[in-house]
Every structure is written in C-alpha cells, then in structure tokens.
Amino acid sequence: MTDPKAALGAPLARLEGRDKVTGRARYANDHTPPGSVFAWPVPATVARGEITAIDDRQALAHPAVLAVLTHLNAPPLAEAEDPTLALLQSPQVAYRGQYVALVVAETLEAARTAAAELRISYRSERHDVVLTDDHPGIYAPELANAGYPADRERGDFDTAFESAEVRTDAVYRIGPLHNHPMEPHAATAVWDGDRLTVYDSCQGGNSVQQTLATLFALPHSQILVISEHVGGGFGSKGTARPQAVLAAMAARTVRRPVKLALPRAQLCAVVGHRAPTVQRVRLAARSDGRLHGVAHEVLTRSSTLSEFVEQAAVPARVMYASPHSRTTHRVVRQDVPAPSWMRAPGECPGMFALESAMDELAQACGLDPIELRLRNEPELEPDSGRPFSSRHLTDCLREGARRFGWYPRDPEPRRRSRGRLLIGSGVAASTYPVYVAPSSAEVRAEADGSFTVLINATDIGTGARTVLAQIAAHVLGVATDRVGVEIGRSDLPPASLAGGSSGTASWGWPVHRAATALREDLARHGEVPAGGLAARAATGAEDLAASRSFARHAFGAQFAEVQVDMDTGETRVRRLLGVFAAGRILNPRTARAQLLGGMIMGQSMALSEHSTLDPEFGDHAERDLASYQVAVHADVTDVQAYWIEEEDPHLNPMGSKGIGELGIVGTAAAITNAVHHATGIRVRDLPATPDVLLGR
C-alpha cells in the first residue's frame, strides 16, 4: 500500500485468508483441550407431548459412555430470554426435533452409537403444524420482528382500492427456508472451577456470554466466549444456540472439556429458520401507473415456545409513494420448530411479494417496470414522513438498466426463444435498513511501529476483520499491513453482534473514534513510548440517536435474464446483475463478495430451496444439502454486482451502510419476473421448480 490514506476504499484481501485456506484458522470445534470428550444430541421423535420413560441402560453399558443427560439429571438452568434454550429442563416436547437428551462419551463414535440406543417413550398429543389461511389460531401481534409495529394504516386503503383505475390483487407464498451455514453450530466447553470457557460458532460473543451468564447464574467475568473464526451464520448464530449451552452443561457434569457439533440433519429443528409467509399484496393505481393505494398483508407462523413475526410487510412502508396504505402482520403459533432470523428477515420475503406485485402492475398498466418504479419514487419515507438520509434507488435502476442492456425491451411475454428455450428478463428493487448498535474498541500503538485494533467483533466470513484494520489505518494514516486486529473474544472490549448488516457501522465507529484519540495522543507524545500507547472509545445511545430524524436505508436494483426449457421446465439464470447504493463502500473486494453472495442465495431461494413441513411427523423433511438444494457453482454463471458512489453524512464516521443482507433482497422477484417475461407464467409460490413451470 503506497498511499496510506487510501486504506479505506482499497480492495484489500482478507487478513485471515491464508490462515483459512491453509487450515490454520481454528473454528469452534477445531479446539481440543486436553481430556476432551464428545457429545451427541438426541432429538424428540414426537411433535407434541411428554416424555414418559427413558431407558438408558444399553447406552450406559458402553464402557466409553460417560453420561446420558436428560431432563431427569441435567444441571438446572435459570430462565433465559429465549425459551428454546431451556434445554433438558422438562419432559414436555414442543416440536419434533427438540433436544431431549445428550450423550457424552470418550469418542464421537461411542456417543453417536449410544444416542441411537437410547429408548425414550412419549405420551404424544395431536399436533398442529399445517399453516392454513383460515387457521383459528391466527392473531394480530403487537410487534413484528425488530420491533416494528405489526400494523400500520395510512389514509383509507379500502376506498382507494375500490375506486382505482388499475388494480392488482395476488397472494404470494414462501415456505420455510433454512440458513445452513457451511460450518454447523459447534461448541467446545471447558470449566475451570466456576469459570467457563466456550469456543462457540456464533455471530456475537457478548450476546452468548450474556445468555450463558443468565442460564448458569454466573457473573460475566467468569465466562469467556471465543469465536475467532466462524463459517457463516446467516442469522442462525445471532443468538446463543443449543450447542453452547449443551456443551457447557455436559462439561460441568462429566468434569471434562466437551466438544459438540450439531449434526447437519438436526439444524433445521434447533437453530431457527425463515418462517413461511403467505402475503397478499393489493396495488391500486391510476392508469398512468401512479400508486393510489398499497396493501401488504402478511400471515406467518411461529412456534408455541416463542413469538417470532417475520416482518415481511415492513419494506412496503419504505418503498413507494401512495396516499393510502395498509401493512399488517398476522401470526399463528403451532407445534413447529421456532423460526428466527435468516438473511434479511422481513425484507427478503416481503420484497419478493411487493416486487412481484409491481411487475404485475407494470403489465396491467402497459408500462415498463422500471418506468413504473420511477413514477412512484417518494419524496419522503411514505410511512413515517421522514426525509431519507440518502436514497438512490432511481440511480440504481437507471445504471442497472444501462449495464444490463435492459432497453429496448418488448414487454410482451413468451416472445423470445432459442430452440426450445424461452428467454426473458426481469427487474426488482432491493432495500435494507441501516442498523447500528453501541460497541466499544481499543486501538494500541506499539514502539515497533505496529498497531492493534481490539474489539469483540465477529467475522462470520464477511471480511469484517479486514475492514476494521482499514478503518484504523485510514484514521492513523498508516499502511494497513501495520495494523493487526484481535476480535472474537469476550475479554476484548464489548461489541454488538454480527447481525442486521450492522457490524461495520457498529464496530467501525468506536474503532474510528479510538484511532482518532490515539492519533491525537501520538501527536502529543511525538513518539510511541516504550510500553506502547492505547486509546479506548465507545459509542452510546446519544451517537445512535443523532440521525433518528432521517429514514436510513440502502437500496438497489437487480436484473435477471433467464432461460426456461419448456420440455423439462428447468429455469436457468443466464445473467444476474445488481447495482446498489449503500453509502461509502469501504472495501470493494469484500463488499462485492457480500453482494454476490446475497444475490446467489436469492437465486437459490427463487429456483431450488424448498422445505416441506411434514404434516404427519411435524418436522422439516429436507434436512441435508442433498435434499435441501442450494445453488452450487454450476448454477451460477454470470453474476455481477456494482454500486454507485453515495455520500451520506447521516450514518457514521465512515459513511457506510450495511451490505450483508441487501444483496438477497429482490433477487427472487427479479428472477421470477424474468420467468414471467420468458414464459407468461407468473410464479407466486417459491421456488419456481420444473413441476411448477410445466403446470404439474
């Protein structure tokens, strides 16, 4: 790096890249403290009921088996905020797949074998797992996920809809979707007296530390959570998950370090998933396409254990101008695994419905879908009336159209073919809110000229570590190779979790502040004292409140070209192109990877990811990566992500918006809109598999 000032905005490769590809990077289950033993969890085989008997004689007969933990003998846990973490505390079963036992043994093989030999008897009750639009248990929650009011009304939608010149009214359905990070949820737990160390695969060590402190009734100072490298989470590791709690319980019981990696086939039941949604979107417009009314009504599902309301109607409060609006959420709680966060909760499923509906409206009005969106660009955030801190959706649409070669475009479906392949193009918008949370950081200068950033941030594969080095280098005016970063330990300055695309903003802010203070200290000292020099900084509520008068969101536009084989029904994405506006891009290389990753995950959601909640057994049927199909290399041909330069002074000292989730928002609609353009078939239920396109 020749110009240190160019540290921010440079396409720096990941600092830990070499460690990862050479296997030197240690993930949670790569730690094997001396004397480690292994645990294997046992899921319930009924969807609702009660354990009546446990026969563990055969399991315990294995010489290598150390313990069989069940509700009869497991260490008691205090009550935590998340009821799914009351593990092995009662004989009640709330859903199929809920953990009812944990076998601990000298070897993984013995633990697994003994787990299969446990005989657990249940008194099972009739379970309720089928989501129907008229389920008697449907109710109106107060809040949707992330604290949004469940219902918002502006004007008089019903009258607006009745009197509209053009109307669309359709229901869009998305089944459950699963996070499935490459690294499964894993933990290694070690007790030393009353001190607990957990190597945990998580998105936020301080949040896990807090939860373990509550559950085990220990002061924070006695719990160390280490998550130096994490192989993805997509939301499913945002809060403490069973592996950390079970490993700690087992380690306490057998007085040995315990390693526990949750088997892939059990993840669907115990780490959360994207809740299914049934979304009715009604658009009322004048014949020139200007919206008069928008209604986005969402039905979703949660478990009996907790209320989680996928906030899918929230983006309709942000996207388009209309005098009349209704956005509502309804939920039903059933005997199913608890849903939770999955990449862009709310925006991702919600924008599939809204952006499909906009495509349907464009067709109904005889308008180009980009032109329709341009005509409905709001002056202020429609729901709140606040000004946007920055909003460059129209620039993204125009720039995307130019790069993609959108024009000239014949809007008529089923007009373009190559042999038996029908070809079409589609567009959809992206949006994601700006979130930021209080955090703290330290930056140190050493006498040898090196610097270190210390913060309990978590790099779940995003490049967060690298960007934090860049922020410090930028402020200090030094080359990035002089800056080391220590993250992923709860004894570092506390920081918020890697969720809500908030990491870079939340962690970069105190790093920026501490580096600024250190730079000033260094200027006063003239040179670094022999023992080094350190500065610490934190952000608080007052920092985060400063820009509340603005509506802050990132935006984007995504374009897809598809081909549909009308003999086989197979859809292939020929090209996917996104243009985003997300403030200042701090590292183009890692940012591009985030956006591409989101888009590919969106393609996967559009075309292949499919989960069936089995009505008889009551759990998700596709539980491995052979049956739950995510896009693989061969599915991904030409994906491009670009961004426009966006200056926004109302964000944070770096001027950045989050990018981890933005890329998945709108992708599925862009693809199914392209499928409609190709075939004339409107896919309102995901995924668009061959049977759907062949009308089977």
Q: Tell me whether residue 393 or residue 665 sits nearer to ligand MOS (CB atom).
A: 665
Spatial distance between the Cα atoms of 460 and 519, rounded to a whole number of angstroms: 29
Q: Tell me whether residue 186 or residue 497 sits nearer to ligand MOS (CB atom).
A: 497
Q: Tell me whether residue 238 or residue 257 sits nearer to ligand MOS (CB atom).
A: 238
For the bound state, the minimum distance from the C-beta of residue 181 to ligand MOS, rounded and expressed in Å, comes to 10
For the bound state, the minimum distance from the C-beta of residue 234 to ligand MOS, rounded and expressed in Å, comes to 6
Q: Tell me whether residue 343 or residue 657 sits nearer to ligand MOS (CB atom).
A: 343
Kindly write down the DSSP assignment for every residue of 74-94, as one continuous string: SPP----SSGGG-TTS-SEE-
Spatial distance between the Cα atoms of 82 and 331, rounded to a whole number of angstroms: 19
Provide the angle, in degrees to the nearest 10, between the axes of the packed helices 588-607 and 667-679: 50
Kindly write down the DSSP assignment for every residue of 582-604, as one continuous string: -B--S-HHHHHHHHHHHHHHHHH
Residue from 117, 347, 399, 661 carrying the catalytic annotation = 661
Question: Where on the chain is the footprint of ligand MOS (CB under 6 A)?
Answer: 203, 235, 238, 341-343, 345, 499-500
Q: Tell me whether residue 271 or residue 319 sits nearer to ligand MOS (CB atom).
A: 271
Cα 232 → chain centroid: 10
Closest C-alpha to 294, from 161, 152, 430, 148: 161
For the bound state, the minimum distance from the C-beta of residue 479 to ligand MOS, rounded and expressed in Å, comes to 32
Query: Cα torsion at 321, 601, 238, 431 (round to 10°)?
Result: -10
The answer for residues whose C-beta is within 8 angstroms of residue 408's C-beta and 6 or more apart is: none
Q: Which long-range contacts (CB under 8 A, 24 or more apart) does 191-196 make?
A: 191/248, 191/251, 191/252, 191/255, 194/218, 194/222, 195/222, 195/223, 195/224, 196/222, 196/223, 196/224, 196/248, 196/251
Q: Tell me whether residue 14 or residue 274 sits nearer to ligand MOS (CB atom).
A: 274
With vertex at residue 256, the alpha carbon angle to CA 255 and CA 259, rounded to the nearest 5 degrees, is: 130
Cβ atoms of residues 266 and 101 within 8 Å = no
For the bound state, the minimum distance from the C-beta of residue 590 to ligand MOS, rounded and expressed in Å, comes to 16
For the bound state, the minimum distance from the C-beta of residue 503 to ligand MOS, rounded and expressed in Å, comes to 9
Spatial distance between the Cα atoms of 580 and 661, rounded to a whole number of angstroms: 12
661 is catalytic: yes
The position carrying tokens 């995950």 is 601
Spatial distance between the Cα atoms of 177 and 301, rounded to a whole number of angstroms: 13
For the bound state, the minimum distance from the C-beta of residue 205 to ligand MOS, rounded and expressed in Å, comes to 14
Rg (CA), the chain: 26
Q: Tell me whether residue 203 or residue 587 sits nearer to ligand MOS (CB atom).
A: 203
Q: Tell me whether residue 81 or residue 169 sits nearer to ligand MOS (CB atom).
A: 81
Token code pair at residue 343: 């990449």
> What is the 3-class SS of 442-479, one letter each residue?
EEEECCCCCEEEECCCCCCCCCHHHHHHHHHHHHHCCC
Cβ atoms of residues 278 and 131 within 8 Å = yes
Q: Tell me whether residue 458 or residue 652 sits nearer to ligand MOS (CB atom).
A: 458
Q: Tell me whether residue 203 or residue 207 sits nearer to ligand MOS (CB atom).
A: 203
Q: Tell me whether residue 238 or residue 597 sits nearer to ligand MOS (CB atom).
A: 238
Q: Check whether the bond before 43 is cis (ω within 30° of 0).
A: no
Spatial distance between the Cα atoms of 256 and 189, rounded to a whole number of angstroms: 9
Exposure of 394 by Cβ count < 10 A (0-12 exposed, 13-18 middle, 19+ buried)? middle
Distances in whole angstroms, Cα of residue 51 to Cα of each of 74, 83, 135, 270: 15, 18, 28, 18
For the bound state, the minimum distance from the C-beta of residue 418 to ligand MOS, rounded and expressed in Å, comes to 38
Of how many residues is the chain composed?
Answer: 696
Q: Tell me whether residue 205 or residue 499 sits nearer to ligand MOS (CB atom).
A: 499
Cβ atoms of residues 489 and 224 within 8 Å = yes
Position closest to ligand MOS via CB: 235
For the bound state, the minimum distance from the C-beta of residue 177 to ligand MOS, rounded and expressed in Å, comes to 11
For the bound state, the minimum distance from the C-beta of residue 427 to ligand MOS, rounded and expressed in Å, comes to 25
For the bound state, the minimum distance from the C-beta of residue 501 to ligand MOS, rounded and expressed in Å, comes to 7
Spatial distance between the Cα atoms of 11 and 600, rounded to a whole number of angstroms: 21
Closest C-alpha to 668, from 302, 347, 369, 407: 347
For the bound state, the minimum distance from the C-beta of residue 302 to ligand MOS, rounded and expressed in Å, comes to 16
Closest C-alpha to 196, from 245, 142, 145, 157: 245
For the bound state, the minimum distance from the C-beta of residue 244 to ligand MOS, rounded and expressed in Å, comes to 17
Token code pair at residue 117: 């030999």
Kindly write down the DSSP assignment for every residue of 501-547, as one continuous string: T-HHHHHHHHHHHHHHHHHHHHHHHSS--TT-EEEEEE--HHHHHTT
Spatial distance between the Cα atoms of 458 and 497, rounded to a whole number of angstroms: 7
Cβ atoms of residues 332 and 138 within 8 Å = yes
Q: Tell me whether residue 203 or residue 279 sits nearer to ligand MOS (CB atom).
A: 203
For the bound state, the minimum distance from the C-beta of residue 235 to ligand MOS, rounded and expressed in Å, comes to 3
107: helix, strand or coil: coil
Q: Which residues are catalytic?
A: 661
